[in-house]
């Protein structure tokens, strides 16, 4: 176990937690020493406080012990894979997780996002790119400053509830009911649903959706968005293979149409 960095690096502005109390705590789950050394130095210089786990079992243990603000998780870890670590963390917390991997195939990306990762980066990468993505997902964390400034064309009741033909969304309580049954959405799934519902009937481009939900400095590709849309459809559509609520406008983006409208 290695702990490094207090966030008090000369000439650097400390990166604060979403609550504003102290530097952001990072759990780095990585087994390649060359990456560990470079990341600990680089992230410490950026104002983060880093704890290192060198295998999957240790990652789960240190997650429980340290309560990190964000997790950087290598896909290929000894003892327990990054995918299994991600699944385990997601049963306990919605802490932001960025998957860091040498693999770059589409299936690896999809699997990582399906089990709950917020984003991914592929080795080799630049520290600046990684830090930009870390700050983007931290801004979207519960309690963090909201970067989504949507101006929709749908008005909600004074109780913050929107309802249409079997779909009920309580935006104040962040609860969603489909045909009378409550469905549980992850943070970004809920923000996507909010944005789509608020702009019901309008086509929102992929760029707009990414900017509003992931932040304007997000530098990944659109596969992240597409996976989240697929996951959202699986939760609210009667038949996800033939979506009628969230429809694709080929080459442009997505449109939300309230059922029966």
Instruction: Report the CATH number at residue 210.
Output: 1.10.10.10
The answer to the question of residue 144 being in a domain is: no
Residue 155 in domain: no
**Does 165 share its domain with 102?**
no
pLDDT at 200: 81
pLDDT at 197: 86
Asked if residue 24 is part of any domain, the answer here is yes
Contact predicate 218/133, CB 8 Å: yes
Question: Are 109 and 174 members of one domain?
Answer: no
pLDDT at 217: 63
DSSP 17-57: -TTSSSBPEEEEE---HHHHHHHHHHHHHTT-EEEEESSHH
Q: Which two tokens stand for residue 226?
A: 């597409």
Q: Is 223 within the bounds of a domain?
A: yes
Same domain, yes or no: 120 and 165: no
Q: Give the pLDDT of residue 166.
A: 80
Same domain, 62 and 13: yes
Burial of 65 by CB count in 10 Å (0-12 exposed, 13-18 middle, 19+ buried)? exposed
Residues 9 and 131 in one domain: yes
Same structural domain for residues 201 and 165?
yes
The DSSP result for 168-205, as a single string, is EEETTTTEEEETTEEE---HHHHHHHHHHHHTTTSEEE
* Residue 100 sits in the same domain as residue 181: no
Is residue 145 one of the residues assigned to a domain? no
User: 131 with 9, same domain?
Assistant: yes
Tell me: do 125 and 12 sit in the same domain: yes
Of 139, 174, 207, the position where a domain reaches its end is 139
Together in a domain, 104 and 215:
no
Token pair belonging to 133: 């993505």
Range of the domain at 135: 2-139
Residue 146 belongs to a domain: no
Tokens of 228: 């989240």
Q: Per-residue confidence of the chain (261 residues) as pLDDT tens digits?
A: 444 443 333 334 444 444 445 688 999 999 988 889 888 988 888 889 999 999 999 999 999 999 999 999 998 899 999 999 999 999 888 899 998 877 666 667 778 788 888 888 888 778 888 888 888 778 766 544 333 333 444 444 545 688 876 888 888 788 899 988 999 998 889 989 988 888 887 888 887 888 888 876 666 667 888 889 999 999 999 898 899 899 988 877 888 886 544
Whether 172 and 135 map to the same domain: the answer is no
If one counts the domains in the chain, the total is 2
Residue 21 CB neighbour total at 10 angstroms: 7
Both 128 and 204 in one domain: the answer is no
């Amino acid at each position: 176990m290695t702990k490094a960095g207090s966030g008090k690096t000369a000439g650097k502005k400390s990166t604060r937690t979403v609550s504003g109390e102290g530097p952001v705590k990072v759990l780095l789950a990585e087994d390649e020493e060359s990456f560990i050394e470079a990341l600990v130095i680089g992230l410490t210089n950026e104002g983060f406080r880093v704890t290192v786990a060198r295998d999957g079992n240790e990652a789960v243990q240190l997650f429980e012990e340290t309560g990190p603000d964000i997790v950087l998780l290598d896909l290929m870890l000894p003892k327990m894979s990054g995918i299994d670590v991600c699944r385990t963390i997601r049963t306990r917390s919605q802490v932001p997780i960025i998957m860091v991997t040498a693999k770059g195939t589409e299936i690896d990306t999809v699997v990582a996002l399906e089990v709950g990762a917020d984003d991914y980066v592929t080795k080799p990468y630049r520290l600046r790119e990684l830090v930009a993505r870390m700050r983007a997902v931290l801004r979207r964390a519960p309690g963090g400053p909201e970067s989504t400034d949507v101006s929709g064309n749908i008005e909600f009741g004074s109780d913050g509830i929107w309802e249409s033909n079997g779909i009920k969304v309580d935006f104040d309580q962040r609860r969603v009911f489909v045909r009378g049954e409550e469905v549980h959405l992850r943070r970004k799934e809920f923000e996507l649903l909010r944005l789509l519902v608020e702009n019901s009937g309008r086509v929102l481009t992929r760029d707009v959706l990414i900017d509003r939900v992931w932040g304007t400095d997000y530098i990944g590709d659109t596969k992240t968005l597409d996976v989240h849309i697929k996951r959202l459809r699986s939760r609210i559509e009667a038949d996800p293979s033939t979506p009628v609520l969230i429809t694709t406008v080929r080459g442009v983006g997505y449109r939300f149409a309230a059922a029966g409208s």
